[in-house]
Amino acid sequence: MAEKQSDTLLAISWHDTAWIPILNTANVMDYFSERTNPFYDRTCNNEIVKMQRLNPEQLTNMTGLEYILLHAQEPILYVVRKQHRHSATQATALIDYYIIAGIVYQAPDLGSVINSRLANTLNKIQSAFEEAKSFSRYHPSKGYWWQFKDHSDKDKTTKKEKKEETSSMFQRQRVDILLAELAKSYPPKMVQPPAASENKAEETLVKDIKSEITVKTEIKTEDKSKPPPDKRQRLR
């Protein structure tokens, strides 16, 4: 139960706005011993000294739980320690609390820090394995291989960039020079259009040829239509 309570106290903080402007080393323990402070145990020796209005130095002559001001860096930082006193010269530290700008926090112990770091590390390792697993591929004929999205995206972007590249001024001038040299060495042949008179003469020749062909075809048809000549008997 004590471990669960300490774990829950690690996630909370406490402050009193009325005390914050006047905090100093003389009254910081009174501020910490406020009844609304969840970090303060009212069964400690400090509460007994306060109720009996004794001198705070009497804590060294008592045994049991007590709170002491361990470190002070005015006006921003104060460290309070909860400890179990066995004698005037022997005490066992239990929990440390730090007050930053009037806000009280419980300092985590070494076990909590190690557990938190290990849990964070294991979470990162697990996410790394899951991400690596998502890149693995398998095919019965090929086997296993890796397919990373970043490389494919980079290849696509490089291809797009190559397509979008324009030619430089040197390239354009060089191409124009080469085209001019090719035009000089292999000049194009200019074909002149035929004259109008020549076209008319050709048309008349074609018409005459067509008329002759039609006449010949008519003569042939007439010859075929005539009956064959009668055969006369020869006289002996």
Per-residue pLDDT tens digits for 133-160: 888 888 888 888 888 876 555 656 666 6
Lowest mean pLDDT among 41-45, 130-134, 165-169, 218-222: 218-222
Task: Report whether 19 contacts 99 (CB < 8 A).
Answer: no
Counting DSSP H helices and E strands in the chain, the numbers are: 7, 6
127's tokens: 């996410």
- pLDDT tens by residue, 153-200: 565 666 666 565 666 766 667 777 777 887 887 777 766 665 555 566
Q: DSSP letters of 15-28?
A: --TTTGGG--TTTH
Supply the pTM of this predicted model. 0.51
Task: Report whether 46 contacts 57 (CB < 8 A).
Answer: no
As a whole number of angstroms, the distance between CA 177 and CA 172 comes to: 9
In angstroms, what CA-CA distances link 22 with 35, 105, 181, 211?
Answer: 18, 19, 93, 131
Reply yes or no on whether the pLDDT at 116 is more than 80.
Answer: yes
- Mean pLDDT, the chain, integer: 80
Three-class DSSP category at 79: strand
